[in-house]
Amino acid sequence: MNRSQADALNALIAQLIGDDLEHSEFAAGELTITVRPARIDGHLRALRDAPGLAFTQLSDLSGVDYSAYGQADWITHQATSSGFSRAVSRGRESDGTENAGPRFAVVYQLLSIPRNQRLRVKVLLPEAAPLLPTVVEVFPVADWYEREAFDLFGILFEGHPDLRRILTDYGFIGHPFRKDFPLEGYVEVRYDPERKRVVYQPVSIEPRTLVPRVIRDDRGVGTAH
């Protein structure tokens, strides 16, 4: 998709969605729109059914946690300018306040097969109540996608026919794709030979950082620590 095609597509979408269209951005050959979450099911239905759009396929649905977006992994001017700190604004230290907006997002990847166009639809959700309508009736394939977003991020989909965890175990505590979820988790399982069954217990692994830190000397040579 080129810029002129993106502008034409954005104009059609703006007429269709109206005031619920919060933001549009064209980058890397794709158009991304941000819409208000309250009527996301109706908006996706309109994008699917409008003859000039025909976004009839939901290719993916995923959650996003922006809680640490824009923050440096290590507060140092000597950190590498690529790799693990790609979201950091260069030339200044992080004060930990970069993400002042909603914590969560749900991103829908749509495909129009007859028009050979892709569209990314994003909704932003607050930390206190990450809730939005299910789109299972619009795109049945969203069933397991929404369960995955619920399981890993704790995002709730109102009206979902069977909103259960899909990847983690029964009784799992927390949501492992949230940025504040500890790498080692909260509990571990082991087989108890006396009880003759698997039991849960508090995790015994020492917390540690697994991402290497790269410090560059004056010659620009990086050393992992």
For residue 167, pLDDT over 80 is answered with yes
What's the total number of domains in the chain?
Answer: 1
For residue 169, give the CATH number of its domain.
3.30.460.80
DSSP state of 79: B
Check the CA dihedral 89-92-97-101 and report its sign. Answer: negative
Is residue 89 classed as helix, strand or coil in its secondary structure? coil
Residue 76 inside a domain? The answer is no
Residue 114 inside a domain? The answer is yes
Residue 130 inside a domain? The answer is yes
Neighbours of 125 (CB within 10 A): 20
Residue 79 inside a domain? The answer is no
For residue range 89-131, list pLDDT tens digits in order: 444 444 444 566 899 999 999 999 999 999 999 999 999 989 9
When pLDDT is averaged across residues 215-223 and rounded to a whole number, the result is: 53
What percentage of the chain carries pLDDT values higher than 90? 57
Give the domain range for residue 149.
3-66+101-178
Residue 45 inside a domain? The answer is yes
Q: How far apart are CA 104 and CA 117, in angstroms?
A: 26
Residue 205 inside a domain? The answer is no
- How, if at all, do strands 187-192 and 197-202 pair? antiparallel
Residue 186 inside a domain? The answer is no
Residue 61 inside a domain? The answer is yes
Residue 199, both tokens: 């039991």
- Pick the closest to residue 149 from 43, 138, 136, 137 (CA basis): 136
